Structure 1
Amino acid sequence: MPKECKRLAEVDFPIAVVSKHSAREKSIRHGHPSTLHLWWARRPLAAGRAMLMALLLPDPGDAKCPEEFRAKARELLLKMPGWNTPRMNQQVKSEKGLRKALLTFIGDFANWDNSSNKDYLATARALVKAAHPEETPLVVDPFAGGGSIPLEALRLGCEAFASDLNPVACLILKVMLEDIPRHGPELAEELRRVGKEIKEKAKKELAEFYPPDPDGATPIAYLWARTVRCESPNCGAEIPLMRSFWLCKKPNRKRALRYKVVREPSPPGRGQGEGNYHPTTIP
């Protein structure tokens, strides 16, 4: 691709569609790389994938865009399932129509559901190859953080170089860009096996700190708080200094503790917690 040729991102970009897919991606957990390890400034994969592709492809409407790329792009887009229609055939004949079709493809490819679709993957990689027939593009990200940009570069068939000053980011990058692609499903199986061993070992070592409740349930956590004793001569209850008694605020699963003073002859009083569904009953 000639250096003088404008990239597609310099002319237009499907920002509304990509923004919608990026916002939806935040709620996706199963199988998403963001669950590998917390990174505070992680960029959406949808935005990285779309912008990288728009930067790697030339603008078909530019006078210096190779005619070979235009012809190959038309061929590849019309091979997409559902794209070979009379309307699309007519649209891609013009340079502006081909640009619009490429932007539509990039917007659709930003969808997480299409990120591993074999048709979208093959077409995206073939388009990048058509734009750079001489050599495979190298994408460099010197401050890669959570690794969204280099990961999407690999997805598009490019070579990627990533680094960061933070050692946690470097570990995330190494695992995501080197270890997982190199070992594949075998690494996942080994991780499950080792995780199971660690879980069983930890369960034995910590069992004495989590004795079963009278109903047989095993506690999973404790609420720790400093306490003060009421100085009233007729009370003497121990009051925990807690900012909130909420356990869960989900609409369909609200749980809270209600502090109840139980008066006894001796000692004068004590406090105990009990489960409660309604936050209004918290004293």
Structure 2
Amino acid sequence: MPKACKRLAEVDFPIAEVSKHAAREKSIRHGHPSTLHLWWARRPLASSRAVLLALLWPDPCDPLCPEEFKAEARKRLGTVGCNPGTTDTDLRGALLRFIADFANWDNAAKPLYLEVSRALVKAAHGDEPPLVVDPFAGGGSIPLEALRVGCDAFASDLNPVACLILKVMLEDIPRHGPKLAEELRRVGAEIRKEAERELADLYPKDPDGATPIAYLWARAVRCESPNCGAEIPLVRSFWLAKKAKRRKALRPVVVRPPKSSRELPRVDFEIFEPKSGKEVSAGTVSR
């Protein structure tokens, strides 16, 4: 493709449809690369995929657009429901329609869409795949989509966490596939077993035999009353969960030792399901 030939993104782009699909990605969890590791600046796959194709493909209305690309586009686009029409303007519209449809998460992994996108990238650039370079790749959305549509990709980042994400997502997962997940589960189980053994003393079983999985820590002050002296935890709220079907809260219970004992009173807690907020005691501090 001649360098002087305009790219599709220079003349038009289906921004409304792509934006809609990119926004939808935020609510997708199962099977999405974002579940591999959270990254605060991850680019949506939908927009990354769409922009890459719009930059890699030429505008069919440009006089310098290769005829081979037009012919391949007319042959391929009809297979995914994008009518290429008879004019170059019709073909441009079909390419934009494909980009918008391919941005949809439901179509992102369909073999036919991947095949069409790769074939058109090859038709535009020949047998040598174009190289996409992302020196600050972060969560890896851009290089991942570049590889999926048939490009070579170079990705790096200054953050070592990002580099680990990139290595796993762009190298290890494609190379090892499901075996990598199985190995991670096996190693993770071994680490968990060893951690449970080493941390057992820090998580003693409750009187009912249950094993705590976490602690809620709070600063404490000693009651200044001469008849008390118990340690009072400083907490703003005794609520544990406020969801409709999972309402849980703590109920403070003062345990007083026998008068003959020299032990001081102490504050224990019970977990209960309050029917209303009035049943939950106010916190011991307000800020």
CA apart distance, 1:152: 0.7
Relative distance call for 1:186 and 1:251 in structure 2 (3 A) is same
Relative distance call for 1:140 and 1:265 in structure 2 (3 A) is same
Relative distance call for 1:4 and 1:217 in structure 2 (3 A) is same
**Aligned to 2:98, what secondary structure does the other structure show?**
helix
Structure 2 residue 122 is matched with structure 1 residue 129: yes
Partner residue in 1 for 2:269: 273
Tell me how far apart the structure 1 counterparts of residues 197 and 242 of structure 2 sit (CA, whole Å).
Answer: 32
Tell me how far apart the structure 1 counterparts of residues 208 and 116 of structure 2 sit (CA, whole Å).
Answer: 58
With normalisation by structure 2, the TM-score equals 0.87
Deviation per residue, 1:48-76 (Å, 9 max, x gap): 11111111111122232222212211110
Relative distance call for 1:61 and 1:254 in structure 2 (3 A) is farther
Partner residue in 2 for 1:161: 154
Residues matched between the structures, number = 276
Tell me how far apart the structure 1 counterparts of residues 92 and 27 of structure 2 sit (CA, whole Å).
Answer: 31
**Aligned to 2:27, what secondary structure does the other structure show?**
coil
Partner residue in 1 for 2:174: 181
**Aligned to 2:145, what secondary structure does the other structure show?**
helix
CA apart distance, 1:134: 4.5
**Unpaired runs of 5+ in structure 2?**
283-287
| Equivalent AA in structure 1 for residue 130 of structure 2 | P
**Unpaired runs of 5+ in structure 1?**
none
| Equivalent AA in structure 1 for residue 65 of structure 2 | C
Tell me how far apart the structure 2 counterparts of residues 203 and 262 of structure 1 sit (CA, whole Å).
Answer: 31
With normalisation by structure 1, the TM-score equals 0.88
The two structures, once aligned, show a CA RMSD in angstroms of 2.1
CA apart distance, 1:251: 4.2
| Equivalent AA in structure 2 for residue 282 of structure 1 | S
Partner residue in 1 for 2:220: 227
Relative distance call for 1:251 and 1:11 in structure 2 (3 A) is farther
**Aligned to 1:79, what secondary structure does the other structure show?**
helix
Tell me how far apart the structure 2 counterparts of residues 70 and 147 of structure 1 sit (CA, whole Å).
Answer: 31
Tell me how far apart the structure 1 counterparts of residues 254 and 208 of structure 2 sit (CA, whole Å).
Answer: 23
Tell me how far apart the structure 2 counterparts of residues 57 and 95 of structure 1 sit (CA, whole Å).
Answer: 14
**Aligned to 1:26, what secondary structure does the other structure show?**
helix
Tell me how far apart the structure 2 counterparts of residues 144 and 200 of structure 1 sit (CA, whole Å).
Answer: 35
